[in-house]
Structure formats: C-alpha cells, structure tokens
Structure 1
Amino acid sequence: MKFTVSSSTLLSLLATTGKVISNKNTLPILDYFLLELKGSELKVTTSDLETTLMGSIAVENVESEGSIAAPAKLMLDSLKEFPELPLTIDVNDTNWEIRINWKSGSLSIPGASPVSYPAVPTLSAEKKELKFDPETLAGGINKTIFATADDELRPVMNGIYINLSENAATFVGTDAHKLVKYESEGACEAVSSFILPKKPAALLKAVLQKEEKPVETAFDSKNAVFRLSTHTLVCRLIEGNYPNYNAVIPANNPNKVLVDRIELLNGIRRVAVCSNPTTNLIRMDIGGNKIDLTAQDIDFSVSANETIACSYEGQPVTIGFKSTFLVEILSNIETPTVVIELADSTRAGVFKPVYDDKQPSSTLMLLMPMMINA
C-alpha cells in the first residue's frame, strides 16, 4: 500500500474520526485507525464497539492498494507537527511498518494487521430509512444534547429521544431536572422513534457543520446508520422506553415574563457567585415589571441581589431555580428576548425563545423549581 496525500487533509480526517477512540478500550486494536485504500480513495475507520465512524478522502499517486491498522496517538502526534505538504505513505504488508516520507525526511511507525479489527454492525431487514435535512438534525442535537443525563440507573435518559411523526421530527433531552423539546415541522418518511446516545450525537454535531446534502439515515431496533457526504456513522441505540415527557410540561401557565435574555443571564451569573455552593439556589421575585434576583450563603454570610426590568403579565410569583441550570438554558437560546411561563412556585418554569417572524421549528425548555427555605 503506497500513496501520496496532503498532510493537513489527512490530519483533519484522522482528528475527526479519532474522537470515537475511547481512553478505556477493552481491545488493544481499538486504539488504532483502520486505513483501507481502494482506487484513489482512502477510508479511515475508528470504533469503540458501540460507535463506529468512517471517513474518506481522495489520495494521489496510488502505487498499490491495501489495508493496515495504524496507532492513533502516534499518527496524530506525528501529523500535528507538519506544515501543509505532500506526504508519501508506504506500508510494508509483511512486517506492518508504516513509513511516512516527505521532501526533507521520513519517519517510521509500527502498524498492525487489520484482520482483528471489529466488523461494522449491519442493520436487520426490518430497518426503516429516511433522509434528514442536515440543519434539522444539527439543530435538534445542538438544542437538546446539553440537557441529557449521565445516569447509570436510567440509561434511556443518557441520550436524545428522536420521535418521527407524519408532520414533524421531535428531539427531546432531559435529566429529570431540565427538559428540552425541539420540534421541526415537515413530514418524515419513517414514522417511528429511537434514542440516540450522547457520544454519537456529539460526533454527528461535529461532522454536520459542513454538510449540505440530506443525511441518509437508517435504523432498526438496535443500531442506526447516518450517511453523510464524506463520513458514515454507525452506532448502537439505547434500548428502552423513553419517559412520557409531555406529561411534565405544564399546560396552563397564566404568568408570563418577557425579558432580555443577555441581561437576565449576566444578572444570574453575578448573583450566583454568592449562592450556596451545594444548592446553587437563586430566588426570583417576579412582579410589577421587574425580576428581583437574590442569592445567599448563610454559612459564609454572603449575599447578592439584582433587579432586572421585564414585561410581566400575571400575579406576583416567588420561585427558586438552580443557577447552573438557568445559565445552561439561557445560554442555549439564541434569541435576544426570552419568554418565561410560570404557574406557581412548585411547578416547572417553561422557557421559550421569542422570534420576530414565524419559524419552521419550535424550542421549549423546561426547568424544575427548587424549594426556597423561608
């Protein structure tokens, strides 16, 4: 196997696919890239047994085809030190030595036989297929991934729930304290649902940034495949029943706060410095077109308060929230103005972005309140 490739193109591909490689691999071969050369296309595969990411680039001056397992850390560390220049990679398929030659030098890296590299999972005959608009898929992942849990006891909450219906695709992430529901209008080719784990969702988020063509998606009860123009992601889905998220969204919220998102976010950050480090509780007294933010830590005799102007409809309300969750929610809304819908101090607050015009998608973020000690 011998070919010539641009150093930066190869590094970019290896850096992207290398994100799959886990620090705690059970098989030593999973610390390697699988490189396969067919014609003028170099395919790179990485896997952690749960998630597999494949990417490909075009190479030049192909003298011979072949495949090899190349050590990931050594390859990445070596390629990071090169400026943009052509590299000739020559693989000895007898002793699996990888020789990288360039204009003024060369280096040698020990590879391994590709035979023991795990095979990519295949889908069953009952698979469902559809095409995702890259913006819809990226939007759904971006909006919900921060709200997913890290809960070993409830694994279904460690991923993004994707529900496909006849008129919309719904993405949901929750950790039982906060919940995000992102809905994108448009008919889906497959009416079904699955739970996408956090790691492959984060990988998709990274590779979708430059994607323009529809993402070909197929899934069965255990695995899902996402085909992009230069990458293919195969991942094991989380099995189980997702909680009924609609049941926790309060239907009737008579109290509505319209407030500048950045002003509120910065106010919360300033006041939160004095909150109790265990609870991070911030008290919000809302009424008379203003929000009074208060935080205190009795143990250290520190407290802070700030008043923020808002437009308010409803009865005066006092409610407590965890400041770190408030910051997360407000940071993941992109509009300058946000509406907060409240019922009372014991029911969840609903946060929604305020747009000037009609949007093809809607975002709803929900945060459970905390008890305020009198």
Structure 2
Amino acid sequence: MTTTLAGLAFTANARTFADTIGWVAKHLPHKPTHPITAGILLTVADGQVNASAFDYDTAVTATLGIDSDTAGRVLVPGKFLADVTKTFPDKPVTVTTTDTTMVVTCGTAKLTLPLMVVEDYPALPATPPTVGTIAAVDLAALIARVGVAADVAGNKGLEFLRGIHLTFGDTLEATASDRYRAAVGVATWQPVAGGAETALVPAGMLIDAAKTLDGAGNVTVSCDANLLGLAADGRHVTTRLMNNQFPIHATRTFFPGRSEHPATVPTRDLIAALKRADLVRADKTAPVVLEFHGGGDVVTVGAHSGGTAAVTDEQVACDYDGDPVTVRFNPLYLADALTALRSERAELHITHEYRPVQVTSPDDADLAYQHTVVPIRSLS
C-alpha cells in the first residue's frame, strides 16, 4: 500500500459517497473566519475514507467503505464537492489526486477540484471518554423537545441561555431555559460509570447533531471537562462545551410538580386557537389572554389588535375544576410547549396568574417531559 499526501485513488458507491460528503458539508461554517475551515479533509486508509470538517469548535467525521490500495489525506473545497456529488448518477465514483488537484469521475461526469493546503488544516480533537449509549431516536426526541426553550439565537443576552444542560446519571436529563420558559426531559439510556457528570452544550449544535443522527441505531455519548462527542453508524460529532455555569438548581424550581386542579385541554385545538390569536396581535409584545372558568368546560382564548380593531374570542374545550383565573401568555411560547409535549391532551398547572405555568401530559406518569411558560404581567 502506498502512503502519500497526493496520488490517492479510490472507488466508492455514488449514493453513499454523496450522502457522506453531504452530511459533513452541512456542518461547514456558513461564513468561515478561517478560509481553511471551508475544506473537507479526506483521509484514506485500510479500505476506508474519513471525511471530516472542523471549525475549531465542532468537528464531524463520517466513514465510508471504499475500494483502494492507497493511503493518505487531501483537503478539498467542501461545499462545492457536496453540491456536485449529489447530482451524480447511480454509478461508481472514482477519485484520483495529483499534487494540486482531485478528479472525481462518475459515468460521463467529471469534476476537477483544486487541492487546499492540507498541512494548514487544524488537528481534529480526540474523542473524550464514553459516558453512555442511547437510542438515536430517543436522543433526537429529547433534544428537540427541550431545545425549544433554549435561547438559540442569543436574543436574551446571557450566554448560558444558549446552551442545553445535560446531566449524566441513571437517566440522561436535558434542561434548557431562556428565562421566559424552561423545559426539562429525561430519557432512558445505558450509562457508563466514571465519566463526566454534567455538560453545557451549545443548543444549536446539539439540536442539529441529534437530528442528523436520528435514524441510526444507538448513539455513543462521550464527554470530559472540555468536549462532548456523539457517534453512531460511522458518523462522529465532537464539540467544545460552554464555559458558563448553567443555573440548574434555580431552573428546577420552575417545575413544582402537578397541581391539584390542572386544566386539561385538547392539545391541537389549543395550539390552533393560539396561532389564530397571534395573527390578530398587531403588537407582538402584547399577550394572548386565556380565561379559565372554574367548574366550566371551556377556556376562552382572546386577543385584540389596536390598529385594525380586530378581535378574536374563541372557546376551546377544557376540563378545569380550580378557581377562575385569567392568564396572559406569549402565544408562541405556549404553542411551542404544547407542540413539544407530543400528546393529544395537555395539562396546564396554574397556581397564580403571574406564576410559571407548568405544561405536562396526563399520560406521562413519570414526568419524562415538562415545560413551563412564564405569564406576561402587562395588560397591554
């Protein structure tokens, strides 16, 4: 076997090659601050090619079986390679390299790419110790549901709100909050003793990584004081942890448990009513008003627009035996909570018009997922 930085030659299946390159390319930085990070690193050895991307914070690698008797590595423009290979016909792909170019041939299609300087590419981070394994579908569901409460866009100003806090115990617990809402969920997994106990992970990255690994079998989760790793079916994601301290104990106080008299509503109907009420609001800081009638069988959902005098006043079926109470919400926050619940019915645990309202499913006896929304105090 010949080992070289160029002079590589291998053959692969067109579809799996395009899928592999495409998955890695999704993790390339949109606006790279370092031009070298726009490349995909191809490392060939032992009948496999590892395609990698790294932006100094997050590294991804996907492994693909190939037919080759050469070994080495090259760096190529990543997005362009991904865009072209996804158009290839379902025929074998042949890749060869010279000192300055990579030639990709598939049927009558032929692509020549300039090579980037592979020696300038940063070293990929090592995989941290394993802390447990979890079904990919369970990880994707857990992170997606909790992630809706994170300040992914960074609009709330506090850095730690942009993260999802993970607790590695007998179960895998995820928590997120943007101060106006919070979510916590747990999932069954197989923990490995002796590893890290907690991690604060950038929410956007974790949500995307868990989603892209969905459909795999099991995900191996690895973590130390600096890095989190996820690996499944030959695909690996490693990212730097956030240095901030997440107020996990304070956040848990937002989840007091089920109330004695929850308001039980059909989830889809209330979501639809909230979205219609949101359309009426001219001022998107104005609340949508929910009136819960003690001993009644409906909740009234209302909103108004000062500019057009448009008004919505809708009744949704509701089973509620508590005292009458009026609560004002950001309708999108409450709709997000109800959607993440993934249940036909929802329980709203209301203790006061200004206290956080906990949202749970009546079918979730163990409270595997909970979401709270802070009401709006303003009457405008």
Query: Is the pair's TM-score, using the shorter chain for normalization, greater than 0.5?
Result: yes
For 1:336, the equivalent position in structure 2 comes to: 344
For 2:4, the equivalent position in structure 1 comes to: none
State the alpha-carbon separation in 1 of the partners of residues 316 and 109 from structure 2.
63
Question: What do residues 148-184 of structure 1 show as CA deviations (whole Å, max 9, x unaligned)?
Answer: 113374211111101123x332111111111111023
For 2:113, the equivalent position in structure 1 comes to: 109
C-alpha contact 1:123 1:220 (8 A) present in aligned 2? no
Question: What do residues 327-363 of structure 1 show as CA deviations (whole Å, max 9, x unaligned)?
Answer: 21122221111111100111011111232x766x611
User: Is the aligned partner of 1:159 residue 2:163?
Assistant: yes
Question: What do residues 254-279 of structure 1 show as CA deviations (whole Å, max 9, x unaligned)?
Answer: 44111110111111112221123331
Counterpart residue type for residue 216 of structure 2? E
State the alpha-carbon separation in 2 of the partners of residues 131 and 341 from structure 1.
34
For 2:172, the equivalent position in structure 1 comes to: 169
TM-score normalised to the size of structure 2?
Answer: 0.90
State the alpha-carbon separation in 1 of the partners of residues 21 and 59 from structure 2.
13
TM-score normalised to the size of structure 1?
Answer: 0.91
State the alpha-carbon separation in 2 of the partners of residues 155 and 63 from structure 1.
48
Counterpart residue type for residue 136 of structure 2? P
State the alpha-carbon separation in 2 of the partners of residues 168 and 107 from structure 1.
48
C-alpha contact 1:250 1:347 (8 A) present in aligned 2? no
For 1:140, the equivalent position in structure 2 comes to: 142
State the alpha-carbon separation in 1 of the partners of residues 84 and 188 from structure 2.
46
For 2:3, the equivalent position in structure 1 comes to: none
For 2:215, the equivalent position in structure 1 comes to: 210
C-alpha contact 1:274 1:304 (8 A) present in aligned 2? yes
C-alpha contact 2:146 2:176 (8 A) present in aligned 1? yes
Count the aligned residue pairs: 365
Question: What do residues 306-326 of structure 1 show as CA deviations (whole Å, max 9, x unaligned)?
Answer: 011111121011000001112
State the alpha-carbon separation in 2 of the partners of residues 59 and 277 from structure 1.
58
Question: What do residues 25-74 of structure 1 show as CA deviations (whole Å, max 9, x unaligned)?
Answer: 121110010011112111000011100001111112x1422211110122
Which shows bigger deviation, 128-137 or 193-202?
128-137
For 1:362, the equivalent position in structure 2 comes to: 368
For 1:196, the equivalent position in structure 2 comes to: 201
For 1:312, the equivalent position in structure 2 comes to: 320
Moved segments of 4+, more than 6 Å: none
User: Is the aligned partner of 1:236 residue 2:244?
Assistant: no
Which residues in structure 2 correspond to 1:60-75 (within 5 Å)? 60=67, 62-75=68-81
SS in structure 1 of the partner of residue 147 of structure 2? helix
State the alpha-carbon separation in 2 of the partners of residues 283 and 181 from structure 1.
25
Change (3 A) 1:251 1:77: closer
Which shows bigger deviation, 185-194 or 76-85?
185-194
State the alpha-carbon separation in 1 of the partners of residues 135 and 88 from structure 2.
36
SS in structure 2 of the partner of residue 171 of structure 1? strand
Counterpart residue type for residue 270 of structure 2? L
For 1:3, the equivalent position in structure 2 comes to: 10
Change (3 A) 1:252 1:206: closer
Task: Extract unaligned runs of 5+ from structure 2.
Answer: 1-7
Question: What do residues 91-127 of structure 1 show as CA deviations (whole Å, max 9, x unaligned)?
Answer: 11x22x0111233242211122321111122368xx5
User: Is the aligned partner of 1:31 residue 2:20?
Assistant: no
State the alpha-carbon separation in 2 of the partners of residues 237 and 101 from structure 1.
40
For 2:182, the equivalent position in structure 1 comes to: 179
Which among 245, 253, 265 is matched to residue 247 of structure 1?
Answer: 253
Which shows bigger deviation, 108-117 or 146-155?
146-155
State the alpha-carbon separation in 1 of the partners of residues 258 and 268 from structure 2.
27
User: Is the aligned partner of 1:78 residue 2:84?
Assistant: yes
Which shows bigger deviation, 128-137 or 337-346?
128-137
Which among 297, 301, 314 is matched to residue 305 of structure 2?
Answer: 297
Task: Extract unaligned runs of 5+ from structure 1.
Answer: none
Counterpart residue type for residue 292 of structure 2? I
Counterpart residue type for residue 317 of structure 1? V
Counterpart residue type for residue 241 of structure 1? Q
Counterpart residue type for residue 261 of structure 1? T
Deviation for aligned residue 1:76? 1.6
Which shows bigger deviation, 80-89 or 130-139?
130-139
State the alpha-carbon separation in 1 of the partners of residues 324 and 187 from structure 2.
34
Deviation for aligned residue 1:128? 6.4
State the alpha-carbon separation in 2 of the partners of residues 290 and 90 from structure 1.
69
C-alpha contact 2:135 2:189 (8 A) present in aligned 1? no
Sequence identity (%): 17
For 1:55, the equivalent position in structure 2 comes to: 62
C-alpha contact 2:329 2:376 (8 A) present in aligned 1? yes
